[in-house]
Structure 1
Amino acid sequence: GCRTRVFENRYGEKTSIGRGNLSFSTINIVRIAIECMMIQDKEERIRRFMEKLDDVLDITARQLCDRFDFQKTALAKQFPLLMSRLWNGSDKMTPGQTIESVINQGTLGIGFIGLAECLVALIGAHHGESEEAQALGLRIVSHMRSRANEFSEKYQHNFSVLATPAEGLSGKFTSKDRKSFGVIPGVTDKIYYTNSNHVPVYYKCSPSHKAKIEAPYHELTGGGHIFYVEIDGDATHNPQAIADIVDLMDRNNIGYCSVNHNRNRCMECGYEDAHDGLETCPKCGSKNIDKLQRITGYLVGTTDRWNNAKLAELNDRVVHK
């Protein structure tokens, strides 16, 4: 998956097989930025933001280490499947051994959410619409990556930066920040924060522009990331559109990608199409329509169980063309 395909490993083979993200915690960088908004001087505002971010990074690293110290006390026999063949090195363990040496090949992820809103709070524009904002965004995430490397040396674990997928957390953080700071245009005026380093879903741009902006963050987020393109029409009859996006990935060194498009299926007669908002099957008249959509990293046939924040984001998405 997009947040388990990790390679960095100080304690074994650099591979995504037999290991993954052991634990991760996400930092609300939007809130840190909001707390600095009232500082009039821009350079001082950014300096203070980075200072506060460093404090939170230190706390996050210690918290992840505390979690690891608890996890490492488990015995191999407590996880008969995981510690029999799935984790690298587990086949050499005895049932009474602790799992520390094996799980230390996994990563401890420091995640972030809402880079777009963070940048709006700091300088008034997000990275999709401003070169200055893009430079600052890369500075912020590069700093997080540097600190993760420092934590790896200090604590002797595999720390990584994670582009948090923001499934349930986006709405929770925004709700708390609205209560504390009110509705701030471009920052807390929606009920969700933008997924990690993504360009906002409502921002109209081409796939190539989106790739140009988001791709540099993939190299910095070794704990996992995703780039997606929203297309219209029926992708099943347009393989060239998919091929073009794969080429776009290759040219921009993108680590993981998804193509989003509508897919409707009549559960009575099997009719399929890609029309937006289909309620009635044109073939048999049934209203039992399965609507296949990618809300996060998963294809889902119903939106009934998704939270309001992710549904709001889904409704705000625009086609990239």
Structure 2
Amino acid sequence: LYEVATMGCRTRVFENRYGEKTSVGRGNLSFSTINIVRIAIECMNIRDKEERIARFFSRLDDVLDITARQLCDRFDFQKTALVKQFPLLMSRLWIGAENLKPTDTIEPVINQGTLGIGFIGLAECLVALVGAHHGESEEAQELGLRIVSHMRSRVNEFCELYQHNFSVLATPAEGLSGKFTKKDRKSFGIIPGVTDRTYYTNSNHVPVYYHCSPRHKAKIEAPYHALTGGGHIFYVEIDGDATHNPDAISDIVDMMDKYNIGYGSVNHNRNRCMACGYEDAQDNLEKCPVCGSHAIDKLQRITGYLVGTTDRWNSAKLAELNDRVVHK
């Protein structure tokens, strides 16, 4: 059985068959993520590379078909809800909701939302198929873009077939990174570069542990943003105190603009003493150098969130956080 998991996070949508192409007053309705790593692992033992990759695409197509039908079934359930069940959403947030009566169904409004088909672990998928990820191999990058372009093409077909706004989602891998990996390790064991960590890489990202420059990372990841209209993110890890180096931030933002990055962030540590307000960017600060307090708020970014504590994050996401390297 192929694994498809339901998740939800990103809401910056564009495609719209039923109205204005805008991110305002719309959103992703449902999202399902395909474990493309598992499909690649199942094809690994095919010796002929062309046959191996062809088999991968054939199996991917099967899972894409199932995922699209599943999302349509979910929409058919969602559309039966009444306007009065969602007083806030249907009074101020969704486009066109003001034209509906309390006893109307929400279908005329939510049909402007999108149904997202996501993917996780492109890096590990490519290692399984060609022996390297897209950050370290031009061949892998070409295949990675071919895979996500194929998903985008199939999603366009689903839009016509089912008359819905389907989109490709670059899954942020908050919980699935560990969930899928755990199951695949149980089924296939430890495969170097594929299942040897406790997490799969976020969507189309270069692995967090791979040493490269911000520019190289941007050049590799940027082309995927044009293919993933259901949501995506690019980030750069920097060290030191960013508040004292605004030029570095400005350069990175300019680079994001140059490579047409749709959504990006600059990650860096930020410590704040909750007792006296002292701030710095030291690693592993446990005691305030000014007042001696141990009440230190450590601000970090995990996926799209800025968090002051990592206590509630799962072990796989924490492992990824600890593996992150500075891009320089």
Aligned pair 1:118/2:120, yes or no? no
User: Could you give the per-residue CA deviations for residues 169-196 of structure 1, whole angstroms, max 9, x where no partner exists?
Assistant: 1000000000000000000000000000
Q: Structure 2: how far apart are the matches of 1:125 and 1:148? A: 27
Residue 103 of structure 2 aligns to which amino acid in structure 1? G
RMSD (CA atoms)? 0.9
What is the aligned partner in structure 1 of residue 72 from structure 2?
65
Q: Structure 2: how far apart are the matches of 1:49 and 1:151? A: 20
Cα distance, 1:2 vs structure 2: 7.8
Q: Pick from 65, 83, 89: which aligns with 1:82?
A: 89
What is the aligned partner in structure 1 of residue 3 from structure 2?
none
Mapping of residues 268-287 of structure 1, within 5 Å = 268-287=275-294
What is the aligned partner in structure 2 of residue 312 from structure 1?
319
Cα distance, 1:267 vs structure 2: 1.1
Cα distance, 1:280 vs structure 2: 1.1
Q: Pick from 95, 99, 110: which aligns with 1:103?
A: 110
CA contact (8 A) 1:2 1:256 kept: no
Cα distance, 1:239 vs structure 2: 1.0
User: Could you give the per-residue CA deviations for residues 149-207 of structure 1, whole angstroms, max 9, x where no partner exists?
Assistant: 00000000000000000000100000000000000000000000000000000000000
Cα distance, 1:285 vs structure 2: 1.3
Aligned length: 321
> Residue 229 of structure 1: SS of its match in structure 2?
strand
Aligned pair 1:209/2:216, yes or no? yes
Residue 213 of structure 1 aligns to which amino acid in structure 2? I
Residue 73 of structure 1 aligns to which amino acid in structure 2? T
User: Could you give the per-residue CA deviations for residues 287-320 of structure 1, whole angstroms, max 9, x where no partner exists?
Assistant: 1111000012010000100000000000000000
* Regions of 4+ moved over 3 Å: none
Cα distance, 1:230 vs structure 2: 0.2
Give the gaps of 5 or more residues in structure 1: none
> Residue 141 of structure 1: SS of its match in structure 2?
helix
Q: Structure 2: how far apart are the matches of 1:258 and 1:22? A: 25
Residue 109 of structure 2 aligns to which amino acid in structure 1? V
Give the gaps of 5 or more residues in structure 2: 1-7
Aligned pair 1:5/2:16, yes or no? no
Mapping of residues 139-178 of structure 1, within 5 Å = 139-178=146-185
What is the aligned partner in structure 1 of residue 200 from structure 2?
193
What is the aligned partner in structure 2 of residue 133 from structure 1?
140
Residue 171 of structure 1 aligns to which amino acid in structure 2? G
Deviates more, 1:283-292 or 1:213-222: 283-292
> Residue 45 of structure 1: SS of its match in structure 2?
helix
What is the aligned partner in structure 1 of residue 242 from structure 2?
235
Cα distance, 1:268 vs structure 2: 1.1
Q: Structure 1: how far apart are the matches of 2:315 and 2:243? A: 30
Normalized against structure 2, the TM-score is what? 0.97
What is the aligned partner in structure 2 of residue 34 from structure 1?
41
> Residue 271 of structure 2: SS of its match in structure 1?
strand
Q: Pick from 291, 294, 297: which aligns with 2:298?
A: 291
Cα distance, 1:214 vs structure 2: 0.1
Q: Structure 2: how far apart are the matches of 1:236 and 1:59? A: 48
